[in-house]
Amino acid sequence: MNRILHIVVAAGSGRRFGAELPKQFHLIGERPALMLAVDAMRRFGCGGTVVTVLNPDYIGYWTEVCVSAGFDPGPIVAGGSTRWESVKNAVDAYGADADIITVHDGARPLVGRCVVEAVVAAVASGAKGAVPVVALSDSIRHVGADGSSKAVDRAAYVAVQTPQGFSGMEFRQAYGMPYSPAFTDDASVMEAAGYDVSLVEGSPINIKVTNPSDIAIAELLLRQCND
Ligand SMILES: Nc1ccn([C@@H]2O[C@H](COP(=O)(O)OP(=O)(O)OP(=O)(O)O)[C@@H](O)[C@H]2O)c(=O)n1
Ligand SMILES: C[C@](O)(CO)[C@H](O)COP(=O)(O)O
């Protein structure tokens, strides 16, 4: 049987969200976004341990929120100043013997069963990495260094979501390599280490809370999911 580690990264400060309380702690309906994200990985993640990565300044706060909601926070790891460092800290602390490691944004509270299971199944079937993607619905332009822009073929691009899943051995090796500012997600870390990543179907509902208006959108989507 595969040993699975799910890492939920939630150590960001939410600069674009712009509130004093980081976005992952804001309520979506009745529960904080992070609680929904952790709960989804527990329910849909095919077993395994769910570890949450937090800024050390918020570990006490989050533990209190969980206790008063009767929610088990599970293992918590201190994050770093980049998403890459936050993931690395969790891999170093809990990933030594995991066959499959997934990483999910604590700011994606609405991830559903189909997406999580598709990611885990792809890795369990031999993919070194699997990422959920969705088609783009806006037109896309390439912007040059001089500010000029040119339309590009949007069919050649997809938008990437989380959770992203990986074979444990290769993931540990990839996260043993030096940091690059080009790493925007875990698939880019794996690719830099020479591994191919497979695509699975994501979901338009699996949005990342990034700007304040995303809270209202997430609440509407959550209500729709529960109807
Ligand atoms: N040092 C960091 C930075 C980000 N994250 C997490 O990675 C996910 C995706 O990052 P993003 O949406 O960029 O969150 P923030 O970094 O908080 O937002 P911003 O870039 O607007 O500051 C979030 O769940 C965030 O908490 C993390 O664990 N550690
Ligand atoms: C990991 C991610 O959510 C995949 O789309 C995304 O790359 C995070 O980007 P951010 O700039 O840290 O929000």
Question: Is the pTM for the entire model greater than 0.90?
Answer: yes
Ligand 2 contact via 88 beta carbon (within 6 Å): no
Residue 141 located in a structural domain: no
pLDDT at 24: 98
Ligand nearest to the CA of 83: 1
In angstroms, what is the span from residue 184 Cα to ligand 2's centroid?
A: 6
Residue 150 located in a structural domain: no
What's the number of domains the chain is made of?
A: 1
Ligand nearest to the CA of 182: 2
The pLDDT tens digits for 155-195 are 999 999 999 999 999 999 999 999 999 999 999 999 999 99
Residue 147 located in a structural domain: no
Residue 88 located in a structural domain: yes
Bridge partners of residue 7, in order along the sequence: 51, 103
Residue 157 located in a structural domain: no
How far from 43 is each of 23, 189, 223, CA to CA, in Å?
23, 27, 19
pLDDT at 69: 98
User: Beta strand 129-135 with 198-201: parallel, antiparallel or unpaired?
Assistant: parallel
Average pLDDT for residues 131-152, to the nearest whole number? 97
Ligand 2 contact via 208 beta carbon (within 6 Å): yes
User: Beta strand 49-54 with 76-78: parallel, antiparallel or unpaired?
Assistant: parallel
The domain of 171 spans: 4-131+162-226
Residue 187 located in a structural domain: yes
Is this complex's ipTM strictly greater than 0.90? yes
Domain at 181, CATH number: 3.90.550.10
Q: Write the single-letter amino acid at 221.
A: L
Average pLDDT for residues 106-132, to the nearest whole number? 98
In angstroms, what is the span from residue 138 Cα to ligand 2's centroid?
A: 18
Task: Please identify, by atom number, the ligand 2 atom nearest to the C-alpha of residue 108.
Answer: 3
Whether 131 has a pLDDT exceeding 80, the answer reads yes
At 227, is the pLDDT very low, low, confident or very high (cuts 50, 70, 90)? low
Residue 183 located in a structural domain: yes
Ligand 2 contact via 23 beta carbon (within 6 Å): no
What percent of the chain lies above the pLDDT cut of 90?
A: 97
In angstroms, what is the span from residue 146 Cα to ligand 2's centroid?
A: 26
Q: Write the single-letter amino acid at 170.
A: E
Task: Please identify, by atom number, the ligand 1 atom nearest to the C-alpha of residue 37.
Answer: 24
pLDDT at 193: 98
Ligand 1 contact via 81 beta carbon (within 6 Å): yes
Whether 116 has a pLDDT exceeding 70, the answer reads yes
pLDDT at 188: 98
Residue 143 located in a structural domain: no
